[in-house]
Structures are given as C-alpha cells and as structure tokens.
Chains A and B, each alone.
Chain A
Amino acid sequence: MMMGRLPKRIFHLLVVPALFLIVWGILSIANIFPSYLLPPLKEVIFGGYYLATSGELLRHITASLYRVVSGLTIAIFTGVPLGILMGRSERISSLFEGVLHILRHIPPIAWIPFALLWFRGGLASAAFVVSIGAFFPILLNTIAGVKGVPRGLIEVGYTLGCSSREITTKIVLPYSTPNILTGIRIGLGIGWMSVVAAEYFGYNFGLGALIIFAYNILRIDLMVVAMITIGFVGLIIDRAFKWLENRLTRWRGK
C-alpha cells in the first residue's frame, strides 16, 4: 500500500541503488573481501557522517567548486568569443581549426604537470586544467550555433539597418544562446571531472585531494565517501544548470 502511493518513477529510480546497497551490506557482513578492497558499508556510512558533520566535506566541496567555477569562467570568456569569430569567418576558422583539432584530443589531465610548472599550484593551476577541459565543448557548440543562424535572419538584420557588429551582438549571439549554454553545461561536467584529477597533486583541500589523502593513510572508506560525493555534486550542478538553461531559453517553446 505504501509503495502504491509513491510516484512510480521515484520507485524505479531507487530500485537499483537499493539492491546495490543490500548486496554491498551482505558482502561486508560476510567478510569475503579484505576491507582495503571493499570497505564495509558501515564504515563508509560512519566516515561520511564524520566528514559531513565536522564540516570537512563541505570545505572540500567548496574548494573544488571554486576551482571549477574559476576555470569555467576562463573557458567561457575564451571559448565563446573565439567560437563566434570562427563561426562567422571562414578565414579565421581555417586558421585555428588545425591546431584546435589536435589540442582537443589532449586530455585535461595531460596538462597537469604544465599547469603546476607554469602556475606553481594553487587556484591558477587547477583552474587552468579545468579551463582546458571546458574550453572545447564550449568552443565547438558556439561554432555550431553561430553557423546555424539562418541567412534570412542576418539579411533581415541588414535591411533593418544593423551594422556588422550589431548583427553579431543582436542576432548571432542571442540565436546561438541555446548552443552556447549546452556547451557550457557539457564543459561544466568535464571541468568537474578534471578538477578531481588536478587536485591529486599538491592540494590540501578539494575532493581530489581528499581521495589521495585517504589513499595515503589507507582510509578506503573516506575514498569512497569522496567518490560518492563527486557523483552527487556532479549530478546536482548538472541538473541546476539544466534548469537555468531551460529558464533562459523559454522562448524556444516546448
């Protein structure tokens, strides 16, 4: 009876995680695997409770988020203008295309040593790694949006008296907003993954730093807590951004 009242969808969403927890719990109690291979569920719960209530977890989360937002900001302010230029001009596009399509395949984590050498750790290094990861989806989606502007809209702009600059700011940019926002959301996701890797070296706070710290002192339970937190925070920021995206592009209709 109780279950009948629950919305079906929520029930469906919870089935697999619940089964997963049950199996994990049983395996923990049965003591089949050593705890450094599979930390007991109970320990992870206690570890999570400790980290959450002491405020330490929040401090790690905010440190990581701060770096992601910084890197994302850099990626937006470089990727969007370059995307508009490349989308509008064949010449500029062909100038940059070759290099960018090679750089695109170098993962953000490959930049970590350079990030540390150039920026000597701290916010700048992590933000740099994040910005590399977020830059390409933002750039490519912006280009796609700009190239998709119907010729008719640009011609209307000219007949209504727009200058070339006004065509860009008042027609091309707003038309491409949905694509740009999608690019930013994908960039945010990649940035969130990149920051964890960036924090492996030389950071005291941040979820990546927490994983490495826990690993070094063999607190496998805390490692798992950090990983689960990364997953949940990633989900929340993605959903929040999706919500913002929908609000900002309500003019598209259903």
Chain B
Amino acid sequence: MALLEINHLSKTFVSDKEGKIEAIRDINLKVDEKEFVCIVGKSGCGKTTLLRIIAGLEPPTHGEVRLNGNTIKSPVPEIGMVFQDPNLFAWRTVLGNVTFPLEIQGFNKEERVKTAMKYIQMVGLVGFEQAYPYELSGGMKQRVALARTLASDPRIILMDEPFGALDAQTRNEMQLELLEIWKKETKTILFVTHSIDEALFLGDRVVVLSPSPGKIQKEISVKLPRPRDRTSKEFNDLRREILTYLTST
C-alpha cells in the first residue's frame, strides 16, 4: 500500500466576487514511502491548493487524501509542510524555532536542544543558533524552516516552492542539500515547483499539472542517477518532454 493516496481530489472555491473557481479536478496520485515526488506546473495551476489539502489545511470539495489508509481531515504530525515563505517565529532564535515542535510534543529541554542541534547541524547553521530571523538571509531562513519541520519528525514533508524566492546560486545549493537530507533521513517528500529544472534535478518522479483547473497531465519517472547533470543530453531530453506537456494546454 502506498504511504500517501490521493483519490479523485477536486476543489472548487466559491467567492462572492468571482463566483466559482475550480482549482483542481480529479487528481489521483500515489506516493510511496521514501519517494521524492515533484509536482510541476505553471503558477495558478492549483499546486498550492493541492498541497494545502494534503496537509489538512483546506478541505477538498470531492475526493480524499489518505495517509496509511486514514483519511486526512486536519493537520497531522505525520505530515510536515515547508512553505514558500519561511514563516519563522520572529521572536524566537534559530534554536527556538527549531525546538518549537519539540516543545509542542512535550520533550524536556535537554532532549529538545539535542534534537534541534542535530537538525541545525544538518542544514548547516551551526554558529547561528542564537541569531534572530531578522539577522538571516533568505536562504538561511528557509534552512531554519526546513530544520523546524524535520524536528517535528513527519513521515512526509510537503514543500511548496520552498526555494522560489531564492537566487539561482543559493537555490542550486539548497537542492543539493535537500537531496542529502532526504537520503539521510529517509523521508518521503512531495515537492511543488514551477521550475522544470528543479523538478528534474530532485524527483524520482515528476508529475506535470495542467492549469485551470489543475489536472494531472503526465507522470514521468526520472531514472537518471544522482547527483544529476543539468547539462546532460538525457536531462535535457526530459526537460523538453515536460515542456511540451506544459505548453500543450
């Protein structure tokens, strides 16, 4: 059985001003344990809505999300989420942000600091434990957000364009680091992006979403060995293929 099962998921928003807006239609997707799946699509194709429903932040209009067979109705500790905005707690230090989920889970102070330090080290922020978010760069903030989610020890991490606001150089570094963490921590990752390059560099599988309403256009499994060479012929063949799917609608 797949770890995460998405069955016939649809979402229509109803607003007074704009009437009905169909965000996603009949999405079916299975994600296995330890898989890295990327969802790629143009902005406004319902990627974020899909992730928010999976996270339990938004109810679907039709269909359901199942984790290990249990329907998701509200946020659960097994599903973590990293947003495009790091959403750090500005009044807490880096260490305070990362210990936050452990505090909620009721660990004692010693355990909290120990676990948090492990993840702070993993994302390369040793030496910045006592820094406040305003003192950090965009990339560092997103690293803290990732460490905070990792500290809550979810089985699946949903990532909504987490590197979208970063410069290209930092973005590539973060992608490499994320792959390393994914291997080390044996997490399942569902990663949403509008960058074909990013999806191909990261994912075991790339799911192409077509816009308005968001539907699954194509699923491509990426068999290239990691770390992937963005300039190789195979990589670019896949890139071209995905681009055709994205522009065909």
A residues neighboring B (CB under 8 Å): 150, 152-153, 155-156, 158-162, 166, 170-171, 174-175, 177, 249-253
Contacts and interface: CB of A to CB of B under 8 A. Distances in A.
Given A158-B57, A253-B132, A150 B87 contact: yes
Interface stretch (B1-9, B75-83, B112-120, B176-184): B75-83
Interface of B: 55-57, 74-75, 77, 79-81, 83, 85, 87, 89-92, 100-101, 103-105, 132-135, 148-149, 152
A166 B106 CA distance: 12
B101 A161 contact: yes
Contacts of B103: 170
A252 B90 contact: yes
B105 A161 contact: yes
Given A161-B104, A174-B89, A156 B134 contact: no
A160 B152 contact: yes
A161 B104 CA distance: 7
A159 B55 contact: yes
B43 to A, nearest CB: 18
Which of A155, A171, A249, A252 counts the most B-chain CB atoms under 10 A from its CB?
A155
A160 B90 contact: no
A174 B80 contact: no
Contacts of B101: 160-161
Given A152-B87, A252-B90, A160 B104 contact: yes
B80 A252 contact: no
Contacts, number: 65
A171 B134 contact: no
Which of A150, A153, A159, A160 counts the most B-chain CB atoms under 10 A from its CB?
A159
Given A161-B101, A170-B100, A251-B132, 12 more contacts: A152-B85, A152-B87, A153-B89, A155-B81, A155-B83, A159-B75, A160-B100, A161-B152, A166-B104, A170-B103, A249-B91, A253-B134
Interface SS, A side: helix
A1 B152 CA distance: 65
27 contacts: A150-B87, A152-B83, A152-B85, A153-B89, A155-B57, A155-B83, A156-B87, A158-B75, A159-B56, A159-B75, A159-B149, A160-B101, A160-B152, A161-B101, A161-B104, A161-B105, A161-B152, A170-B100, A170-B103, A171-B89, A174-B89, A174-B91, A177-B91, A251-B92, A251-B132, A251-B133, A253-B134
A153 B88 CA distance: 7
A251 B152 CA distance: 24
B4 to A, nearest CB: 15
A85 to B, nearest CB: 21
Nearest to A178: B91
A162 B103 CA distance: 10
Nearest to A250: B132
